[in-house]
Amino acid sequence: MSDPSARTLPLHIAIIMDGNGRWAARRGLPRTMGHRKGVEAVRETVRAAGELGIRYLTLYAFSSENWSRPEPEVNDLMGLLKVFIRRDLAELHRQNVRVRIIGDRWNLRSDVLPLLLEAEETTRNNTAITVCIAFNYGSRDEIARAMQSLAVDVAEGRLSPEQITPPLIASRLDTAGMPDPDLVIRTSGEERLSNFLLWQSAYSEFVFMPEYWPDFDRAMLMRAIDIYRQRDRRFGNVAPASAAASSATPPPASLAVGS
Ligand code: FPP
């Protein structure tokens, strides 16, 4: 592939990790085995993204719609997240990874929420890469919660309706302070967003890959980045991609190497 240290490296990659169940079914295994192998792919992807210089990685781990799955599968996914945080938090901290959680955290089970809060708190000053886990996340729910907080401010006289601008809305989303994803990857051949980062992906590039998530690895991440780097991003403008990209999402100094 072309040099991944060039300025067109995506600052923020978001991934819809799809196909765990089908990966398992192909092998005659229970779906839970697909999720288990999926966690290994998460580990490898976090490591590879950090090494490649990606600054933000958002992973869609559990959607607000996933509650409708059979209870044993929901319990298994909760258990896997708990094990991931318990076992990997020290290593993530050592790798200077900041963990962030997006989604409706206040409705989470009492055995899950404290772990998520601990992961955020322990790693809050880390700077190498932010790994954002979308858990109990649904984009429409996130936008509705942001709208509710704005409506309260209007009703209580702190805000007037004309002050509600796109940047103000963005500042009330769970992703406040994070750049929008440059690249959204979905595995398993499905080509839809499934209620993931609807607001934030307005100008994202999409790469759909046929492989199932448990097979995702460093080489696939590099392939997706390579496809992304061949895209011409105009952000609604007619200017050359490099000018448009640099004015819309200037890369941090660490990514400007080789530009
Ligand atoms: C989609 O596959 C995947 C999920 C709903 C869960 C993703 C979760 C993990 C990879 C493990 C936990 C994550 C972390 C961050 C520790 P699917 O079950 O919908 O597969 P299918 O479409 O083939 O049935």
pLDDT of residue 233: 86
Amino acid 241: pLDDT = 53
* Position 251 confidence tier, pLDDT thresholds 50, 70, 90: very low
* Position 249 pLDDT exceeds 90: no
Do the domain assignments include residue 201?
yes
Residue 98 within a domain: yes
- pLDDT, tens digit, for every residue of 68-108? 999 999 999 999 999 999 999 999 999 999 999 999 988 78
**Binding pocket residue ranges, ligand 1, CB within 6 Å:** 17-22, 35, 38-39, 42, 59, 61, 66, 77, 80-81, 84, 133, 188, 213
Residue 107 CA to ligand 1 centre (angstroms): 20
Residue written as token pair 């690895």: 217
φ, ψ of residue 57 to 5 degrees: the values are -130, 115
3-state secondary structure (DSSP) of residue 171? helix
Indicate whether 58 belongs to any domain.
yes
pLDDT, tens digit (0-9, with 9 covering 90-100), for 142-170: 999 999 999 999 999 999 999 999 999 99
Percent of the chain with pLDDT over 90: 83
| Strands (E) located in 17-113 | 56-63, 97-102
With respect to residue 150, please indicate whether it lies within any of the assigned structural domains: no
Catalytic residue (choose from 3, 66, 107, 141): 66
**Catalytic site residue 104?**
no
- Name the DSSP letter for residue 137: E
Q: Is 22 annotated as a binding residue?
A: yes
* Residue 1 pLDDT exceeds 80: no
**Domain range enclosing 120:** 12-138+179-232
Instruction: Provide mean pLDDT across the span 212-217.
Output: 98
Distance of CA 76 to the CA centre of its chain: 21
Residue tagged active-site, from 3, 18, 111, 195 = 18
Query: What is the total count of domains within the chain?
Result: 1
Is there a catalytic annotation at residue 141? Answer: no
pLDDT tens for 38-52 read 999 999 999 999 999
Q: Is residue 68 part of a domain?
A: yes
Question: Does 244 reside within a domain?
Answer: no
Whichever domain contains 131, its CATH number is: 3.40.1180.10
State the chain's mean pLDDT as an integer. Answer: 90
Q: Which residue's CA lies nearest to atom 1 of ligand 1? A: 18
